[in-house]
Structure 1
Amino acid sequence: MNKGPGVKHRALAAKWIVWTMLLGLHGLGLAQGFFAPLENHPSLVQARLGLEAAQAQLRATLSPVSLQAQGGLSFFEVTPPPGAPTCPNPLNPQCINLPSDGRQVSLGLTFTPFPFGDVSDAANQAALAVEQAALGLRQARTQLEAQAVEAALRVRLAESGLEVARLGQRLAQANLEATKVREGRGAASPSEVRQAEASLRQAALQQTDAERNLVLARQSLADLVGSSSAIPPRLTIPAQGTPPPVRQAELQLAGAQIGFDRTLRGVLPVVQGSYTRNTSDNDSLTLSINSRTLQPSLSYTNQSQGRSAPQDRIVGTLTIGLSANIAFGVVDALEAAQKQVDAARQAVEAARRSSKLQEDLLRASLQTAEQSLANAQKVQSDAERALGEARERERLGLVSPLATLQAELSLAQARLGLLQAELSRTQRLLDLYRFFALPLSEVNP
């Protein structure tokens, strides 16, 4: 059974109020913290202005009073009746003075004590636009906050990459020096020296590239949050929610239902009633209402051509009318509107199934990333243990400092691998946040 338009409007208006309150509280919560500078980002400002515009349109639709003004000026080209006397003196009762122009001014007030009929449809449609804009704002906020978190992690990754590059250059330099010593003793060929020099040049290029990557990563983070050293909050796994495709399908279903109600209402006859009170021969007040919107209206009319006998004896007029516009294709129109509702309902079901499958894939990818992270942690632990053993063997004189430097490089590479695994896991988490259009700042203050 279809809900009445008044019930639907109250439900949509209530949702809009909840959205507005949540967004307001959310904005207060972002006064400080990692995500606070993002509030002035152009993409977020654009989405927020879109929401404010939709809210203003809803308020305009629900305006309790509206004013209408209308005026007109007419010019007459007249011919006096045959045989009628003409004279230049307008005060002569024998003269016939015909008007040369006419004026009419109307002022009206239309009241909307509650939304009904066409007004309810417009309010429901405006409320849907508010929800759509609010969803767009959440998507924009989620996307921007996810970019900021990724940028912060890429800074850490670039710093670790630069550390690896520096250790690689130190190792290449030490290897070149050791090779030259061996060459002096006849234990290394000139070709081995050239290879060591080439390795050192390659390591220097890698360090320069790592420094450049770090500068770019810090600049990207600073462009978003205003600081190149900002630390993002630790993310938690988001719980279940309503994905945007499902919510958009639900909004389209609500819009299709509004269209069906509008089509059905167009078939119903409209009862109109009005009462006109003549306050003078030139002025009148009219109170009217119709069954399509239940909006009472009060209008005042002044016209330069006053009423003449016997109409000037009428003090008030009550008018009751009935109108109906039934086209031959009304049955087909109703069927088409119902089909659109049914199609939108099926689209909601399809969106739910597709979103459930996509969510399962995203959570499976997150589990894989967590396993890779655990493995990277084990690799780093093994590298730390290997470095300790290398230092002890160097202290005992069992290995050269070159072996210890190689162990330090392996540990730095393991740390880089761990950061890469953390970035991969974070990206899988961010995919879930984007999937639900869930701003990170709501659950990760």
Structure 2
Amino acid sequence: MKRGLLLAIALLGPTGGLAQDLFAPLENHPSLLQAKLALEAARAQLRATQSPLSFQAQGGFSFFDVAPPPGPPVCPNPLNPQCANLPTEAQQVSLGLTLTPFPFGDVADAVNQAAIGVAQAELGLQQARAQLQAQAVEAAYRVRLAEGGLEVARLAVRLAQAGLEATRLRAERGGAASGELRQAEASLRQAVLQQAEAERNLGLARKSLADLIGSEQAAPPPLDPPPEATPPSVRQAELQLQNAQIAYDRALRSVLPVLQGSYTRNTSSNEAWTLSLNSRTLQPSLGYTYQSQGRTPPQDRINGVLQIGLSANLSFGVLEALEAAQKQVEAAQQALEAARRNSRLQLELLKSGVEAAEQNLSNAQSALKDAEKALTEAKERERLGLASPLSTLQAELSLAQARLGVEQAQFTRIQRILDLYRFYALPIREVKP
């Protein structure tokens, strides 16, 4: 009755209450928490690279060791530069503000690499959740199998006890030899040992389930093969190809010349504002500079400075780096193709395993129907006095074994389906924290 109730609850499906309890506690598992934290770190890194503004500040102090001016203690001409008093210290402050209106060049590379890091962290979280949920389902089914095994072991003990009692009665009447009696006693001892082993297996199965979800009993949901998706091995190869392409683009830009332009406006002899831009990132920068030592004549008559520059790196090492980056892209493309081929082959093997498991389940269900008919016939023969109660008990044991065989076949089918979930890195159910 209890086993039937548990099976009925399990048949409620993925939306059933107990089925949800199987997965919700897994969200606090250390491996899943680690994957969540890694994803949060990757997203924070992406937000940092996408920041539209950045601010820089720099300050400094200078101290001078000044020698006394030459000549007499009092200079006759104060306008003589040699008679001027030199400062013993100076201060400088620089402030900068950089705007990123849109990612371009090196900034775009950083953003794209951070986005790839987020995708990899999301894939890692997906794999961790899929693996844990598959382990929980297997653990729940192992509890059910262990319960069925214990039921079969108990029936085997009852049958062995009944067989021993029948053999003793026959021995008392002279119809059984002493060897048969010893064999019946040995069968009972073996059945008792198997029952003890079944109890230990059930305890271990419950402990394994409790380690995952904190409970020794849970109803596993029925599972169907998952929809097709991109395997994580292929997805990883795609991300590696994107990384290789980013490295090639960076190497290509290192060959191209960089155009730089800036305009500095001197607002006073001590202060200046600078606006600059370069073709490598297209990030406009605004800077402010203060120097305690102001500009001296005739430099103080310069109100603004416009600078335009062009730089290029034409070393042979840069060309070699570009070729190496191109080879890395080609290698990543071949790795992606290999991953796709391997995944197709592995998928065919996994689907074949599911089909074989379903056939075995069908055979086990047919054997269960035969065992049910055999028990009905045995009970009828016992009612008519054509068979002993021992035959009926043997039929009950055969029926329990057939039921256990069905559960074992169901578990094998579930395992093959879970292999597909692991292959696709698909969680059985997404659980919101």
**TM-score, normalised with respect to structure 2:** 0.91
Distance (Å, rounded) in 1 between the aligned partners of 2:373 and 2:148? 19
Structure 1: any 5+ residue segments left out of the alignment?
1-28
Q: Aligned letter for 1:368?
A: A
- 1:232 matched to 2:220: yes
Q: Deviations over 1:130-154 (max 9, x none)?
A: 1111111111010000001101111
- 1:104 corresponds to 2:111: no
Aligned counterparts of 2:108 and 2:72: Cα–Cα separation in 1:
59
Does structure 1 residue 285 correspond to structure 2 residue 249? no
User: For 1:160 and 1:123, how far apart are their aligned partners in 2?
Assistant: 56
Give the CA deviation at 1:194.
2.1
Residue 405 (str. 1) matches residue 408 (str. 2): no
Distance 1:63 1:243 in 2: 33
The question of whether the paired residues in 1 share the 8 Å contact of 2:154 and 2:195 is answered with yes
- Within 5 Å, which residues of 2 pair with 1:323-362? 323-362=311-350
Q: CA, structure 1 residues 32+178, in 2 after alignment: closer, same or farther (shift >3 Å)?
A: closer
The alpha carbon displacement at 1:212 in A equals: 1.6
> Does the CA-based 8 Å contact 1:30-1:36 persist in structure 2?
no
The aligned amino acid for 1:38 is: L
SS in 2 for 1:35: helix
- Contact map agreement 2:19 2:219 (CA 8 A) in 1: no
Name the SS of the counterpart of 1:440 in structure 2: coil
Q: Which residue of 2 aligns with 1:122?
A: 110
Deviations 1:88-114 (A, max 9, x none): xx9x99953112222211111111111
- Give deviations 1:376-410, integer Å, cap 9, x for gaps: 11111111110111111011111111111111111
Distance 1:112 1:93, change over 3 A: closer
Mapping 1:144-159, distance limit 5 Å: 144-159=132-147
Give ranges in structure 2 of 5+ residues lacking alignment.
1-16
Alpha-carbon shift at residue 166 of structure 1 (Å): 0.3
Look up the equivalent residue of 2:236 and give its one-letter code.
Q
CA distance in 2, matches of 1:181, 1:74: 113
| Corresponding residue of 1:16 | none
State the secondary structure of the residue aligned to 1:102.
strand
Three-state SS of the structure 1 residue aligned to 2:67 is coil
What letter is aligned with 1:211? E
Corresponding position: 1:78 with 2:74: no
State how far apart, in whole Å, the 2-side matches of 1:247 and 1:70 are. 44
The question of 1:381 aligning with 2:369 is answered: yes
2:177 aligned with 1:189? yes
TM norm structure 1? 0.89
Question: 1:94–1:325: structure 2 CA closer, same or farther, 3 Å change rule?
Answer: closer
Query: How many residue pairs align between the two structures?
Result: 413
Matched to 1:62, the amino acid is Q
SS in 2 for 1:98: coil
- The more displaced of 170-179 and 226-235 is 226-235
Partner secondary structure for residue 429 of structure 2: helix
Counterpart residue type for residue 96 of structure 2: G
- Contact 2:142–2:205 under 8 Å retained in 1: yes
Do the aligned partners of 1:30 and 1:441 also contact (CA within 8 Å) in 2? Answer: no
1:258 aligns with 2:258: no
Distance 1:334 1:424 in 2: 52
RMSD (Å) for aligned C-alpha atoms:
2.2
- What is the CA-CA distance between 1:32 and the residue it aligns to? 5.1
1:303-342 equivalent positions in 2, closer than 5 A: 303-342=291-330
1: CA distance, partners of 2:30 / 2:213: 13
Amino acid of the structure 2 residue aligned with 1:239: P
CA spacing shift, 1:145–1:408, aligned 2, 3 Å: same
Contact 1:276 1:287 in 2 (8 A): yes
Q: Is the 8 A contact 2:255 2:319 kept in 1?
A: no
Whether the aligned pair in 2 keeps the contact of 1:85 and 1:94 (CA below 8 Å) is no
Contact 2:18 2:218 in 1 (8 A): no
- The within-5 A match list for 1:43-82 is 43-82=31-70
Please, which of 201, 204, 214 is the counterpart of residue 202 of structure 2? Answer: 214
Q: Pick the aligned partner of 2:259 from 253, 266, 271.
A: 271
List per-residue Cα deviations over 1:144-168 (Å, max 9, x = no partner): 0000110111111001000000001
Q: How far is 1:420 from its partner?
A: 0.8
The structure-2 alpha-carbon separation of the partners of 1:298 and 1:94, relative to structure 1 and needing over 3 Å to count, comes to closer
**Equivalent residue in structure 2 for 1:298, among 258, 280, 286:** 286
Judged with a 3 Å threshold, the aligned counterparts in structure 2 of structure 1 residues 242 and 85 are, in CA distance, closer, same or farther, namely same
Deviation at 1:190, TM superposition (A): 2.4
* Pairwise CA distance, 1:80: 4.2
Secondary structure, counterpart of 2:205 in structure 1: helix
Is the partner of 2:315 in helix, strand or coil? coil
Q: Does structure 2 conserve the Cα–Cα contact (< 8 Å) formed by 1:85 and 1:95?
A: no
Match of 1:13 in 2: none
Question: What's the offset of the Cα at 1:204?
Answer: 1.2
TM-aligned CA distance change 1:440 to 1:399, over 3 Å: same
Q: Letter of the aligned partner of 2:219 in structure 1? A: I
Amino acid at match of 2:291: Q
Aligned residue identity for 1:70: Q
Q: What's the secondary structure of 1:320's corresponding residue? A: strand
Cα distance, 1:78 vs structure 2: 2.9
Aligned to 1:179: 167
Matched, 1:35 2:26: no
- Whether contact under 8 Å (2:19, 2:221) holds in the other structure is no
The equivalent residue for 2:5 is: none
Partner-residue secondary structure (3-state), 1:398: coil
1:391 aligns with 2:379: yes
